[in-house]
Structure 1
Amino acid sequence: MRKPAHVSETPATQFLKAQGVPFTSHPYAYEEHGGTRVSARELGVDEHTVIKTLVFEDEKAKPLLVLMHGDCKVSTKELARQIGCKKIEPCTPEQAQRHTGYLVGGTSPFGTKKALPVFVEHSILSLVKIYINGGRRGFLVGIEPSVVRNTLNAQSVNAALRG
């Protein structure tokens, strides 16, 4: 039996431990531009249970996080309508890193540099377990979906587009 790879602490795992949240560590071989397809394949899980942490800005350049299924996209028009904004756009990688403190591909909703509003696709909350970035490229944590609502005060939205 192979010994599991050691993963050093990240701001995300420090946050989860401080909150008393049980989680499992899942390091994998990161591939540039591989996304959730690669992490799901490497972990042997359904891509629908691998959750992306996406950084957006509203029309006033205020940042926000959206948690979305790995096999779905965000309808920015629908998201803006549901949260009362005129427009929502993805941040550039540089803006995303500045807002969260994480590199794109390693962005976690936990332990961000500054507190950001978090929106979670409603169907994520009905899954048994989710795999979400642990604060480093090639590292996911397994948690119960209720953790995002309970620790981040995440608001539920319905903005998923398949594919």
Structure 2
Amino acid sequence: MSEKAPVTQAIRCLRQQKVPFGEHLYAYEEKGGTAVSARELGVDEHCVIKTLIMEDEKKQPLVVLMHGDKEVSTKNLARLIGCKTIAPCAPEVANKHSGYLVGGTSPLGTKKTMPVYVQQSILDLPLIYLNGGKRGFLVSLAPQALASLLPVQLVDVMA
């Protein structure tokens, strides 16, 4: 793709914090998820990190970062953080909290400041691919950089 990468809030955040990152555009497919982005970029889906906007029983939003090829155990997450329940937000609610469209949600530069829970095994990867704030656009960076960019809490909530 000869298209120029967009300058999103996520990109502004990375530049402001002087975090080295790569920009990766790909052909977005509706409901394709991390399987499509991994295929299009020729990378392991395990290294493509999905950004999930969820909420607790009080409708308080939170961000969960998980390997693209894994699922989140919302029951374990709720237990770990002392909530009754955790559930994914409806797309329009997630869009409102993050300021991004679902399918293009980045954990960086969100509209609302939310707690960020990161599957701890993500930090074992040499390089991760995160959504850059627009559908069809990922950024690659060292997973350890997440801690300098976000108030992360490491958890083990793989289902």
Q: Give yes or no for TM over 0.5.
A: yes
> 1:95 — aligned with what?
93
> Using the alignment, how far apart are the partners of 1:28 and 1:22 within structure 2?
20
- Give the secondary-structure state (helix, strand or coil) at the position aligned to 2:78: helix
2:13 — aligned with what?
A: 15
Alignment partner of 2:71: what SS? strand
Supply the distance in 2 between the matched residues of 1:114 and 1:16 (Cα, whole angstroms).
Answer: 17
Match runs of 1:54-73 below 5 Å: 54-73=52-71
Structure 1 residue ranges, 4+ long, deviating more than 4 angstroms after superposition = none
**Partner Cα separation in structure 1 for residue 28 and residue 39 of structure 2:** 11
Distance in 2 (alpha carbons) for counterparts of 1:145 and 1:83: 22
Q: TM-score, normalised by structure 1?
A: 0.95
Q: CA deviation at 1:4?
A: 4.5
User: Which of 78, 81, 86 is equivalent to 1:80?
Assistant: 78
- Aligned mates of 1:41, 1:124 — CA distance in 2: 19
**SS at 2:132's partner residue?**
strand
Aligned to 1:39: 37
Q: SS at the partner of 1:73?
A: coil
Segment of structure 1 superposing worse, 3-12 or 103-112: 3-12
In 1, distance between residues paired with 2:81 and 2:148? 19
| Structure-1 residue corresponding to 2:117 | 119
1:130 aligns with: 128
Letter in 1 for 2:132: G
* CA distance in structure 2 between the aligned counterparts of 1:100 and 1:20, rounded to whole angstroms: 22
* Structure 2 CA distance for aligned equivalents of residues 67 and 136 of structure 1: 17
| Counterpart check, 1:160 vs 2:158 | yes
Tell me the distance in 2 between the aligned counterparts of 1:75 and 1:21: 30
Tell me the distance in 2 between the aligned counterparts of 1:46 and 1:8: 24
Per-residue deviation, 1:113: 0.5
Aligned residues: 159
1:120 maps to amino acid: V
Partner of 2:140: 142
CA RMSD of aligned residues (A): 0.9
**1:91-131 Cα deviation digits (max 9, x unpaired):** 00000001000000000000100111100000001100000
